[in-house]
Structure 1
Amino acid sequence: MLRSTIFLLLIIVSATAWAAAPKIHMSVSSQGLSKIEVSASLPSENLADARVLNFLLPFQISSQYEISHPDNLEVSVTINRDNYALLTVIAAPNVSDINFTIDRAFSLNPDREKNRVKVIFDITYSNFKQYVSLVGKTNIVSQYDLEVELPQSFDRDVLAFNPGADEWTASSKTTYLLPYDKAGALARSAAPDKSVFIAFPNPFEDQSNTAAFVMGLVPGLISIVSGSAFIAQRRLSKWALVAIMVLTTFGLAAVAYFYFTLPNPLSFLTASLGIALTWLPVPFVCCYYLIRSRFDAEILGIVQRGGQPARFVAVSVIENGHPIGSDVIDNSEGEYRFLIWCWNPRQIHVSADVLGSNPVQSDTYSIERGKRVQVDLLSLAAPAAATPAAANPATTAPATTAPAAAPPSAQA
């Protein structure tokens, strides 16, 4: 206890040697990057000489830091330990103001608490007390006005402060200042937590969730199209459609329940977005086809070509000379299937056509809603076989006639 008291008194004494309390301005960008600006005014005496100063900062600097300073200063990190860092600054002659900046000063992620970000300053320098005798030196700067600039404006009631909010001055809607004397009062108090901090809602996680939400939207939309197309093929039984509709409705209800009851609904929705979008149209599509099946007539049949099941044959359902349904057979059995809307009975016939063969038509059938019609077999002529001569004209050559022998008189 005595050692801590002496340490804090030395900090206060060292601060009085300056024209004004040095200042640390900490800002957080919308990308979650931290930036520290350190400023101090040197005492007016002996400005004609170059000076070596040490700035004891109440936080550890990250390994990705980058220091910017004017040409009349040299700044280097001497010690970087848990909860503190010691920087050495060489000031050129006639320099009265010290200003330097540390980009990417420290990471904000490890200090998250209840989906909040905490900016913490260890003003007691708890890990530096073994060097307590150095703090009283005039060239050691350890007491600061602490100013924190948040990445965006927040309602004050969602922020957490230590010391309490009344001790902080709001310089703007996003900036809060704690004077060094009030920070020192906290360090000398009997409070169990003597670290200075501001905690604010974590906007960076919301940005990550939004990005993940957008990325999950694409596969979700693709799943909607592919899933709806599968159901639209009408290959599922009525009971299968009912089961799918009930299960997806239950799943969507569970997503809605967890979205409104979980403390961080956006994270949950981001993780379940692709599945939820896949489920979303399914109950409506299933309900539509369950209702429509009561008003559709089913037309079935087979097409053969040369006595074999036909493939790649165009099949059409004709009513009054106009096609009301068409398809191309693409299966090894030569089967076709049509579902035709029938509010009232309709008279149709089926036509099959393929290149290189004359089209064939079925007899006329009467179709009604909810009924199945089996069309008689449609037979197309087999493709004409190519003749050898037609297949390879080069092999056919005109016959040559040998010249007749000369008569004996001619030979004489």
Structure 2
Amino acid sequence: MARLEQALQLRQLAQRLVASNPDQGLDTSVVFASMTKLLRSRPRIVASLRQGLVCRTARKINHSKLNLWAALARPAQANARQFNDLLSTVQQTAAWTQACDAALHHQESLAQQPWNYQARLQNVAQVLNNLRGRLQQSGGHRIFFWHHFDALGYVPISWREVLQALNQQGWVVVVSSSTLSDEANQQLEACGCIVSWRDNQGLCLGAYKDFCCLISENPDLRNPLQSLVLCNDSTLPVGGPEPFCREMERLTSNRTEQAPELTGLTDSIETDAYHLQTYCIAANHALLKDPSWEQFWQQFNPFGSKDDLIQRGEIGLSQWLIKHDVSLQPSYSLTAMLLNSADLRSELDCHGLDHPNSINPTLMGWKTLLKQGFPLIKKHLLFDPPKVLSGPIPLSELADQLNTSNKQLEQDLKRLLQSRFLKA
């Protein structure tokens, strides 16, 4: 019982030390672990200091390390006036370094567990509080989730303008990232975005999983939500923010509320499996509450190669929902374009493509899509075009498809060339 009481008193001391220094953002478990290590390393010193007379003598001497050992020996009698000095002394010990290293290793191990989304999200409480406040304030109950990664932490100006415009139109905008520069973080917050910091695991599909799990486990957020758009930064907006905002209205408005439905901008049957392309998809109210949606994200493993994640995540999501009687609706249907667009047929002929399962419309039919009002262009197309494409480099032809609303795009392309082709 004495040992248990000693441990309880030591934990209470750790809590008091952390509470006395709120600005440091300390973890109570790390403080407690380091003090426990110290206790176990010097049992004879601790035993002698537990004698009241020795402890009083130690306090009179007022030596930092001696005060620390006295506090560890009799934690219930630690003096609040000494808390700052005690904590500072603990942080200078090898036990503190070992406890911090162990905590970091434990956190990294947890983040590697497919189910443990909270270990990958770094500011969960802040994100939840901001979401509740913004959703209540906006009254629109629409979330636009945008996942970002850039080696230099750069957020394209064209995307910032889109995110700001969406926020002004009543969307609650959440930006998920692990690499924002301080400047980009400040700019996004100035645009009204909620920034969700996350470990860079699982690409955009891993980020989708973690955010969807977060929403599903908080019914007060999920139940009133009418639309959730999941989008990533694999594209750049074309034509300024207005075309994209109009597309989001079309993607989420005038849809059935009774039946679960997943909408997207484009679809494909690459790899002989039908799917909506997940660079931009939207779940309606009924789908967000449907068991199939939650079940998919709970069982999805966000670790693996890029190709593996696409197979199990992008293609897997559509195949899973089809098998659970969920309607999938693309805005720019591959079937409709093949049937009705002479421009697309001409574009595919130029590349020698003669089978639907070889067509990625955002790469092989990009000119046709832009002519039809499509508001995005793939960065992959501009910076690393597929070898199957014949003719001029798409980046050299992009100017012919643009107008004065794209004044920021050239600057974005210059910056993105640097980060995309940055050598380690």
More strand by share: 1
TM class, shorter-length:
under 0.3
TM-score by length of 2: 0.21
Larger radius of gyration: 1
Higher RCO structure, 1 or 2 (CA under 8 Å, sep 6+): 2
TM-score by length of 1: 0.21
